[in-house]
């Protein structure tokens, strides 16, 4: 079951268990085992984390953002400094997002028309026009292994016709991206939009898969819809996509989201949550997310999470981690981020193992039975963007 495409890398599914899949994705910077989670290095650095930390964490691929890097330091600067891999001192694969999501999230700062997105820079207010071609050019200079085309991401409150126009533009921009793309070392995925409407997701999937891309992204989810709806639409869309291509659910998510969505056939994830909530003191455990700043941890001499093998848990006591957060020491943010990213890596590895052992359902059931989702953690998830 190997789809070999010399031009665009290759994806092979080694095991499947229900809708869940364990595969191998070939990139210009090495082989990746799916499913995987990508830490987010928006501006060319996973916040408070360095390449050595990523190695300890076991991350094999990271995500950068073309829009942010275009604005600062500029794609030409990154290119002069050897491309994004050399710039960051990261030898592994990199996926770059296009900036389509920023066209959604920085709503007050943009205008979209058929030619592209006009942004006002969040850094200095300067105006920038980003076309599908420009975004491919930027990602070419960055030299990422997997590129995203410019897309139109709709909000939950959009009229059906507006969402449909977004789907149409996203497809037209994909065509323009393909026409413009030159570098054969870089994979380009197609992006499915369509909000929370199954009908529109179906339309977007049909038009996008007609391009026969090396992989497909599901965008426009985790933008405020209920979790049940996120899972339903992710699962529905996933099943519309070709089995033999990798499926990337953009911007998702929390640990429970990963478990739910691997079960629905998703292979790739990215999210700022693990590092962002870590900076607020929210650390993942098998029992759910806990607030390390809580007074109950002040005198705890034990390891924070005895089930965790990360640097923070094996080197320091719970009481020390608590103190670093209370004292607002920079080290807190790094140690918390290492822990949460290691947690994500570990559950992805475990899911892969369970798929290979044909026991994914048991894994999912056990994980979700134990992992408690509190109102507080759900609220923090909503604030993530």
Q: Binding residues for a copy of itself, per CB under 8 A?
A: 43-45, 47-51, 72-73, 77, 80-82, 86-89, 298-299, 301, 315-317, 319-320, 322-324, 326-327, 329-331, 333-335
CB of 291 to a copy of itself, least distance (A): 16
For residues 210 and 245, is the Cβ–Cβ distance under 8 A?
no
Token look-up 């191998």 returns: 24
Shorter beta-carbon distance to a copy of itself: residue 73 or 288: 73
Shorter beta-carbon distance to a copy of itself: residue 72 or 111: 72
Shorter beta-carbon distance to a copy of itself: residue 23 or 281: 281
Tell me which residues are annotated as active site.
97, 270
CB of 316 to a copy of itself, least distance (A): 6
Secondary structure (H, E, C), the chain: CEEEEHHHEEEEEEEEECCEEEEEEEECCEEEEECEEECECCCCCCCCCCHHHHHHHCCCCEEEEHHHHHHCCCHHHHHHCCHHHHHHCCCCCEEEECCHHHHHHCHHHEEEECCEEEEECCCCCCEEEECHHHHHHHHHHHCCCEECCCCCCCCCCCCHHHHHHHHHHHHHHHHHHHHHCCCCCCEECEEECCCCCHHHHHHHHHHHHCCCCCCEEECCCCCCCCHHHHHHHHHHHHHHCCCCCCEEECCCCCHHHHHHHHCCCCCEEECCHHHHHHHCCEEEECCEEEECCCHHHCCCCCCCCCCCCCHHHHHCCHHHHHHHHHCCCHHHHHHHHHHHHHHHHHHHHHHHHHHHCCCHHHHHHHHHHHCECCHHHHHHHHCCC
Shorter beta-carbon distance to a copy of itself: residue 153 or 273: 273
Shorter beta-carbon distance to a copy of itself: residue 302 or 362: 302
Cα–Cα distance for residue pair 74/148, rounded to 1 Å = 18
CB of 51 to a copy of itself, least distance (A): 7
For residues 132 and 69, is the Cβ–Cβ distance under 8 A?
no
CB of 195 to a copy of itself, least distance (A): 32
CB of 74 to a copy of itself, least distance (A): 9
For residue 6, give both structure tokens.
């010399």
First vs last C-alpha separation in the chain: 37
Cα–Cα distance for residue pair 299/189, rounded to 1 Å = 49
CB of 301 to a copy of itself, least distance (A): 5
Shorter beta-carbon distance to a copy of itself: residue 44 or 132: 44
For residue 342, give both structure tokens.
């290691």
Shorter beta-carbon distance to a copy of itself: residue 52 or 226: 52
Shorter beta-carbon distance to a copy of itself: residue 85 or 352: 85
CB of 213 to a copy of itself, least distance (A): 31
CB of 106 to a copy of itself, least distance (A): 16
- Find, among 265, 135, 111, 264, the residue nearest to 189 by Cα: 135
């Amino acid at each position: 079951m190997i789809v070999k495409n010399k031009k665009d890398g290759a994806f092979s599914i080694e095991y499947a268990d229900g809708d869940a899949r364990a595969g191998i994705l070939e990139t210009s910077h090495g082989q990746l085992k799916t499913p995987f989670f990508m830490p987010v290095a928006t501006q060319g650095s996973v916040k408070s984390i360095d390449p050595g930390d990523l190695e300890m964490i076991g991350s094999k691929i990271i995500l950068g953002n073309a829009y942010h890097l275009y604005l600062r330091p500029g794609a030409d600067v990154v290119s002069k400094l050897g491309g994004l891999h050399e710039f960051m001192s990261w030898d592994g694969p990199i996926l770059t997002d296009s900036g389509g999501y920023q066209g959604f999230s920085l709503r007050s700062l943009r205008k979209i028309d058929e030619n592209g997105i006009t942004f006002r820079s969040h850094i200095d207010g300067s105006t920038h026009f980003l076309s599908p071609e420009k975004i491919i050019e930027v990602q070419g200079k960055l030299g990422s292994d997997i590129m995203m085309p410019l897309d139109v991401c709709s909000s939950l409150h959009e009229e059906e016709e507006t969402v449909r126009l977004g789907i149409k533009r996203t497809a037209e921009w994909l065509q323009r991206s393909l026409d413009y793309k030159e570098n054969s070392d870089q994979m380009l995925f197609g992006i499915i939009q369509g909000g929370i409407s199954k009908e529109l997701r179906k339309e977007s999937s049909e038009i996008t898969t007609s391009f026969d891309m090396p992989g497909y992204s599901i965008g426009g989810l985790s933008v405020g819809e209920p979790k049940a709806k996120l899972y339903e639409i992710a699962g529905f869309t996933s099943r519309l996509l070709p089995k033999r291509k990798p499926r990337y659910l953009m911007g998702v998510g929390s640990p429970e989201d990963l478990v739910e969505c691997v079960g629905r056939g998703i292979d790739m994830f990215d999210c700022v949550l693990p590092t962002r909530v870590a900076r607020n003191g929210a650390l993942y455990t098998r029992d759910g997310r806990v607030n390390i700043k809580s007074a109950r941890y002040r005198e705890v001499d034990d390891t924070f999470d005895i089930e965790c093998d990360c640097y923070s848990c094996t080197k320091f006591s719970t009481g020390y981690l608590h103190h670093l957060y209370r004292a607002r020491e920079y080290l807190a943010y790094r140690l918390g981020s290492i822990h949460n990213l290691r947690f994500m890596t570990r559950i992805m590895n475990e899911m892969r193992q369970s798929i290979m052992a044909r026991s994914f359902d048991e894994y999912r059931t056990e994980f979700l039975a134990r992992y408690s989702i509190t109102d507080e953690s759900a609220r923090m998830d909503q604030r993530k963007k």
